[in-house]
Amino acid sequence: MEKKDIDWGNLGFGYVKTDYRYVSNYKNGAWDEGGLTTDDTVTISECAGVLQYAQTVFEGMKAYTTEDGRIVTFRPDLNGERMEHSAARLEMPVFPKDRFVDAVVQTIKANAAYVPPYGSGATLYVRPYMFGSDAVIGVKPANEYQFRVFTTPVGPYFKGGAKPITIRVSDFDRAAPNGTGHIKAGLNYAMSLHAIVDAHKNGFDENMYLDSKTRTKVEETGGANFLFVTKDGKVVTPKSDSILPSITRRSLIYVAKEYLGLEAEEREVYFDEVKDFAECGLCGTAAVISPVGKIVDHGKEICFPSGMNEMGPITKKLYETLTGIQMGRIQAPEGWLKVIE
């Protein structure tokens, strides 16, 4: 199969239209059989649940070309499971995870010409999502829904790739206790748009959100979980009911323990202790592991010993092992790679 003529090495994290997308509709209490289409537009009621009351959830995953030329995706069953939870929390019908994985595989396969070649530094980002599509004017769930999957080739989420970024402690909150921070709902991202635009205006790459109840504990950023390394080499990630359960973070904890022989723990992390960590990074599908060099808290700077030029040594080992697994250079744990072709 011939690859598209794309300058893979210079892709940013943006939308590039690819040839096929998957669509399935929910009506009268059931999903139809679904299938691929070339139509990249969506036609829905002006009063659709998604347009009026933001009834939409999504997922984010990637397809990779491995060293030996296969196309694979990473732990899609976990994305399918998380989307089931997200949908249930917003009173949407569940799109079953087996069908989710099948839809993702079909969409990647149909767009194989857009899966960036091995070693290009780019990947094919896969975006499954669903939304309430019929009219609702009283505040209630829609009756009809659409599930879709599209793909887009992407480069690094943060300009500069593996170069450490600077983030700030946000005065805005992302999620409430007992709210929706733990699911992947569009509304959480709408919440964060003003904060990210304001952060960028002020020269920061991202926001660090603290828990909105006490503002003492580290939560996450707008699009990734945190990962810290202590001075004695232990990996620590924040535990909270109001952050997204990142599949990358869960995988990295396993990699730290089982591949690198490191101690790793998920626990509440107080902002006061952040200054004592040796390394900090953001982890997620889009972010992979993006090192954080500096955190600014209302003018007070926390500069990590790993500096502003390169990743800290343990972050680097985690990064290399995880991407090695995803690109087929390192043996993956059973069930982590789904081979597309």
Which of the residues are catalytic?
A: 184
Of the pair 193, 339, the CB lying nearest ligand COI is at: 193
Question: What DSSP string describes 104-170?
Answer: HHHHHHHTGGGSPPTTSS-EEEEEEEEEE-SB--SSS--S-EEEEEEEEEE--SSTTTTS-EEEEE-
Which residue in the set 284, 291, 293, 328 belongs to the binding site for ligand COI (CB under 6 A)?
A: 284
Q: Which long-range contacts (CB under 8 A, 24 or more apart) does 10-13 make?
A: 10/155, 11/116, 11/122, 11/153, 11/154, 11/155, 12/154, 12/155, 12/156, 12/159, 13/125, 13/154, 13/155, 13/156, 13/157, 13/286
Q: Which one of 129-137, 194-202, 219-227, 297-305 is the stretch in contact with ligand PLP (CB under 6 A)? A: 219-227
Q: Does 284 bind ligand PLP (CB under 6 A)?
A: yes
Q: Enumerate residues 6+ apart whose C-beta is below 8 A from 92.
A: 55, 57, 130, 132, 141, 142, 145
Q: Does 175 bind ligand COI (CB under 6 A)?
A: no
Q: Which residue has the tokens 């972010």?
A: 287
SS3 79: helix
Q: Which residue is nearest to ligand PLP (CB)?
A: 284
Of the pair 63, 136, the CB lying nearest ligand PLP is at: 63
Q: Find which of ligand COI, ligand PLP, none residue 244 binds, CB within 5 to 8 Å per kind.
A: ligand PLP
Q: Does 73 bind ligand COI (CB under 6 A)?
A: no
Least distance to ligand COI from the beta carbon of 286, Å? Answer: 3
Q: Which residue has the tokens 């059931």?
A: 30
> Could you give the count of Cα atoms lying within 13 Å of 313 in the half-sphere of its Cβ?
9
Q: Does 124 bind ligand PLP (CB under 6 A)?
A: no
Q: Does 206 bind ligand PLP (CB under 6 A)?
A: no
> Could you give the count of Cα atoms lying within 13 Å of 322 in the half-sphere of its Cβ?
26
Q: Does 247 bind ligand PLP (CB under 6 A)?
A: yes
Q: Which one of 2-10, 148-156, 209-217, 218-226 is the stretch in contact with ligand PLP (CB under 6 A)? A: 218-226
Of the pair 154, 278, the CB lying nearest ligand COI is at: 154
Q: Does 285 bind ligand COI (CB under 6 A)?
A: yes
Q: Find which of ligand COI, ligand PLP, none residue 192 binds, CB within 5 to 8 Å per kind.
A: none
Q: What are the structure tokens assigned to 9, written together? A: 């090495």
Give the footprint of ligand COI on residues 50-69 (CB under 6 A): 60
Q: Does 321 bind ligand COI (CB under 6 A)?
A: no
Binding region for ligand COI (CB under 6 A): 60, 223, 284-286
